[in-house]
Chains A and B, each alone.
Chain A
């Protein structure tokens, strides 16, 4: 894994600089509210996921901060808020939905145009095409590309200015498994170089594999924002079994650290309500004269956490 580890949450404020700040952002399309009173911030150096089902307002939110959708109310600003949005966007790399390029132009010509718009020298075009594996196709017209290649060209284009933040909206949508794998490897590679990434997706495992922080949206409202591993107040759970199952069960039920104990298929699942290490539990059980044949400590997967969160509200 390549998660960019943070310092302790308490002193993050003084060590990180803010890239994007969103305050009470609202967007209405006629009677429909696509984004409702949304606030969050993006700090430098993290990999963020915006998670939510289709139609939850992910793309609209990105559209607003990227200057293509007009907000209804609220505010957002890039960096410290002193530069205009379009100037700030020159330091951002973003791909939303489908890759949009001029079909009649070659990859290199398209990237030259992007360089002109972003006001960066054209010297990095080959380097970025190399990174996404398209250097040998640089003189082919964009319309001859497969969807996977188009998506990779879009990533190359977004990286031309060595952006402060890379924004990806559903980057693996519509790709075949090989294409999905290539894009994910590319994202990991980019993240490992310290680039801040904001990834919008409805695919939970994608976000789980890539992101350290997550913003969860449903029907335009924020359900959660923060670290992936702190998403719900959970200390994980143990799976255990022993030859003396009944004795083990009663022992666990008497212990104050567990709030729920489930037994099925000869396996006991005990949910923690306070932190506890596996070795600590093992020692305690052994001291009571029981021997475990199986002991695993697990955390809920993002999918389980996501469902818990969305069902609770």
Chain B
């Protein structure tokens, strides 16, 4: 396993564009802390985002995992190209001839994806913990370490998404087309949902839609904005009330993990079936 990761590390780390993208990704993950610096001071209106309660434990776990998950697109580029470059350079052929089995090949990519997701999660955990300790109004241990399921959801979300990218890289073999396909797929899920709404009713549409891969990944962590104290009070004044379930659900995690397994096995199956 270490050998497979080392193989992938050599390939990735010596590629300048991959290296730059990986470094900027982790830089951006850290940059979420910069939100704390957002401060408006226009005459009578004084607004300091960090004071609005977004860094309160345990809400911070929800807030940070939701927003940092957007940066995953950076790594998506790295992952799609690390797969499709093997095809365009024909190095996949040479790897197999040199004695890597097809299983090991897919496994080395998947292990890399796991490592990426894991490091991201640890990063977000550490950054959020520090931010929270500085700005949070509540500092009891019990509160700090509650709602940690958002981190698990974050990990699973990245894992599922990166596995999808991996699969697209193998399926399409060209990085630009694979990323295009990703966008196309997102549009397809939206269209499919619209079609279901039109043909059936909302509950059926929602029930089916939640099983589609990208929707399953995105609904793992619900948007946290309407949960914010400030937003809530504004909404209350307008006579609007949010009654939403913001929790992470076990079956949603299972759906994404199932997709992850499908993508990895489908990648292996494609590789096995194809002549290179």
Contacts and interface: CB of A to CB of B under 8 A. Distances in A.
A104 B14 contact: yes
A116 B3 contact: yes
B14 A105 contact: yes
Contacts of B97: 66-68, 89, 94, 96
Interface in A67-102: 67-70, 84, 86-90, 92, 94, 96, 98, 100-102
A97 to B, nearest CB: 8
A84 B102 CA distance: 12
B91 interface: yes
Contacts of A173: none
A84 B101 contact: yes
| Interface size class, chain A | 20 to 34
A103 interface: yes
Given A84-B101, A96-B97, A104 B6 contact: no
Contacts of A90: 98-99
Contacts of A66: 96-97
A113 interface: yes
Nearest to A143: B89
A68 to B, nearest CB: 4
A114 interface: yes
B94 interface: yes
A119 interface: yes
Interface in B26-41: none
B275 A89 contact: no
B16 A117 contact: no
Nearest to A109: B14
B149 to A, nearest CB: 38
A112 interface: yes
Contact of B11 (A88, A98, A113): A113
B7 interface: yes
A100 B205 CA distance: 49
A63 interface: yes
A86 B100 contact: yes
A118 B99 CA distance: 6
Contact of B99 (A87, A104, A113): A87
B183 to A, nearest CB: 27
The CB with the most chain B CB atoms within 10 A, among A67, A96, A117, is that of A117
Interface string B80-94: 000000000111011
A101 B101 contact: no
B15 interface: yes
15 contacts: A66-B96, A67-B96, A67-B97, A68-B96, A68-B276, A86-B99, A89-B96, A90-B99, A96-B97, A101-B89, A105-B10, A105-B14, A113-B11, A117-B95, A118-B98
Given A70-B273, A86-B100, A119-B3, 12 more contacts: A63-B276, A66-B97, A67-B101, A90-B99, A100-B91, A100-B93, A102-B15, A105-B15, A113-B10, A117-B7, A117-B100, A119-B99
